[in-house]
Amino acid sequence: MRNAPTVLHLDMDAFFAQAEQASKPSLRGKAVIVGGLGPRGVVATASYEARVFGVHSAMPMAQARRLAPNAAYLVPRFMFYRAISDQVMALLRALSPLVEPLSLDEAFVDLEAGGAAWDGESAQAAGIRLRADIRAVTGLTGSVGLAASKMLAKIASERAKPDGLVLIEPGTERALLGTMPVRTLPGVGPATGDHLRRAGITTVDELAEAGEDELVRLLGKAHGHALYGMALARDERPVVSDRETKSVSVEDTYDVDIHDRLRVGLEVGRLADRCVRRLREAGLSGRTIVLKVRRYDFSTRTRSETLRGPTDDPAVVREAAARLLDSVDTTGGVRLLGVGVSGLADYTQEDLFAQAAGELRSAAPEEESAREPAEPEETPVEHRWRPGLDIRHAELGHGWVQGSGLGRVTVRFETPWSDVGRVRTFRVDDPALEPADPLPLVPGAPPGRPVAEPPPQEAQPRTTAPGPGACPASTR
């Protein structure tokens, strides 16, 4: 482990919810919950104002609505979040060539590799500068942890939340970790935590005192050895630049179980098309097609088929997914479907295109149409206007959907840089309404490209985590 805190961990604060607050002036300082809004939806992100009521990610949306009935509930806008993420990752790569993204809103950076830091003072300065640059480019806040290892840098960023910076000085790690619960350590999930608790081990100090032999006996050689090292604050994992994507997949959970076999097939075809779109956006192709089916009784069936070579042809993926579906019994109903592609490459196998063309030519017309995405024809017009989505009116301009139902849609007309906007209600089929692309959070900056704007004056880092009532988006 290095002797300077030159590993940086960035975690954007309540990222999806903060982006929505920054995008919608009327929601700043208010409880915002982003996720699936159907009966079986789950919370993707909750703003800090919503967390005060006990709402957290992965919570069933129905439970969140009981805890925070007056919060704003929005569907995710992943393309919008990805555009902001691209801006943030560009700032990280300006610091160092070694950036390890963990998700859209989280990454490790090796500051030493880029020459951005070599000791505690320079690392802290780099962290302060990064947070200021992120605010200038995106209007959002992120929390930064600095330490001599990845494990400790992530712990530091958790302590810095929201909108703070915490640096763990080398040599203080054992004292810091000792009183923390074992769940703090990477690799200790609910099952491992319960197993350790039954053995009388609840803190990191108790984990270290148990000894390596006892942990190997309890957890197995690999896991026990790794956790013992982490309990002693040992973490030699390097920051790995641009971790390889192993698969691309999409899945949908349905509010009501699907019993009609034809409808199941149509949904699988639609998911296959969405999966291919993601593949192409990433410039990838794949050899193995995977189908996931969760049935009415929560049992899950997974089937896969490996092709002769990698493809990004939607017809090939649809045909393979349909063949896989033939081997799954959907009697009783289906609550979740997913299609994925693995065995990824950055090229395609040319003969697969010919194979797809031949299969399409031999297909009957009704079979071809059955496998085309049915969303435009089948989706009721009111379902186009889901809460949080961007909308444009021919005369009133840009706004976002507050809600829809009973043939009506309510729109608030405002932009990220406007005052709180007014609300109007329209028929869902009003010809003056059309879906719109998200607007950038900083005026004049198209999403996905940083703006050349000087950062604000550097502030002193926060060395302890602030209270939960702070609102990152309202301080932008």
Q: Mean pLDDT in the chain?
A: 83
CA distance 432 to 126: 49
Query: Tell me, what's the pLDDT at 444?
Result: 60
| Contact call for residues 196 and 231 (beta carbons, < 8 A) | no
Query: Tell me, what's the pLDDT at 360?
Result: 40
The answer to whether residues 145 and 183 belong to one domain is no
Any idea what the CATH number is for the domain that residue 410 is in?
2.30.30
Query: Tell me, what's the pLDDT at 346?
Result: 65
Query: Tell me, what's the pLDDT at 91?
Result: 95
Is 106 catalytic? The answer is: yes
The number of domains in the chain is 4
Active-site choice (49, 100, 106, 319): 106
SS3 state of residue 253 = strand
The answer to whether residues 201 and 253 belong to one domain is no
pLDDT band for position 280 (cuts 50, 70, 90): confident
The answer to whether residues 107 and 190 belong to one domain is no
| Contact call for residues 140 and 134 (beta carbons, < 8 A) | yes
Residue 375 lies in a domain: no
| Contact call for residues 19 and 416 (beta carbons, < 8 A) | no
pLDDT band for position 2 (cuts 50, 70, 90): confident
pLDDT band for position 1 (cuts 50, 70, 90): confident
The answer to whether residues 431 and 442 belong to one domain is no
Query: Tell me, what's the pLDDT at 410?
Result: 94
Segment 389-411 shows an average pLDDT of: 93
pLDDT band for position 3 (cuts 50, 70, 90): confident
The answer to whether residues 261 and 391 belong to one domain is no
Closest CA to 349 of 290, 385, 387, 306: 306
pLDDT band for position 367 (cuts 50, 70, 90): very low
Residue 49 lies in a domain: yes
Residue 337: both structure tokens together? 């479907």
Q: What is the dihedral of CA 329, 340, 275, 79, to 10 degrees?
A: 120
CA distance 387 to 412: 11
Any idea what the CATH number is for the domain that residue 90 is in?
3.30.70.270
Residue 77: both structure tokens together? 């806008």
Whether pLDDT at 373 is above 60 = no
- Segments forming the whole domain that contains residue 402: 384-435
The answer to whether residues 288 and 189 belong to one domain is no
pLDDT in tens, 92-114: 999 999 999 988 899 999 999 98
Segment 212-225 shows an average pLDDT of: 88
CA distance 395 to 413: 11
The answer to whether residues 147 and 187 belong to one domain is no
Residue 95: both structure tokens together? 């610091």
The answer to whether residues 57 and 22 belong to one domain is yes
| Contact call for residues 93 and 116 (beta carbons, < 8 A) | no
In the beta sheet, which residues pair with residue 107? Answer: 10, 101
Last residue of a domain, one of 306, 331, 362: 362
Residue that wins the pLDDT comparison between 69 and 247: 69
Least confident of 216-225, 264-273, 351-360, 414-423: 351-360
Any idea what the CATH number is for the domain that residue 320 is in?
3.30.1490.100
Query: Tell me, what's the pLDDT at 352?
Result: 39
Residue 240 lies in a domain: no
pLDDT in tens, 296-355: 888 889 999 998 888 888 999 999 999 999 999 999 999 999 999 998 876 555 433 444
Residue 237: both structure tokens together? 């994992």
Q: How many CB atoms lie within 10 A of CB 464?
A: 8
Give, as one character, the DSSP assignment of residue 203: B
Instruction: Name the percent of the chain lying above pLDDT 90.
Output: 56
The answer to whether residues 422 and 441 belong to one domain is no
Segment 359-371 shows an average pLDDT of: 35
Sign of the Cα torsion 78, 84, 87, 88 reads: negative
pLDDT in tens, 113-171: 989 999 999 999 999 999 999 999 999 999 999 999 999 999 999 999 999 999 999 98
Inter-axis angle of helices 314-326 and 350-362, nearest 10: 60
Question: pTM of this prediction?
Answer: 0.72
Whether pLDDT at 271 is above 50 = yes
Residue 45 lies in a domain: yes
Residue 378 lies in a domain: no
The answer to whether residues 144 and 8 belong to one domain is yes
Whether pLDDT at 448 is above 80 = no
Residue 373 lies in a domain: no
Instruction: Name the percent of the chain lying above pLDDT 70.
Output: 84
The answer to whether residues 200 and 273 belong to one domain is no
The answer to whether residues 302 and 406 belong to one domain is no
CA distance 157 to 11: 7
Residue 376 lies in a domain: no
H helices, E strands: number in the chain: 16, 17
Residue 75 lies in a domain: yes
Query: Tell me, what's the pLDDT at 383?
Result: 55
Among 221-230, 296-305, 416-425, top mean pLDDT goes to 416-425
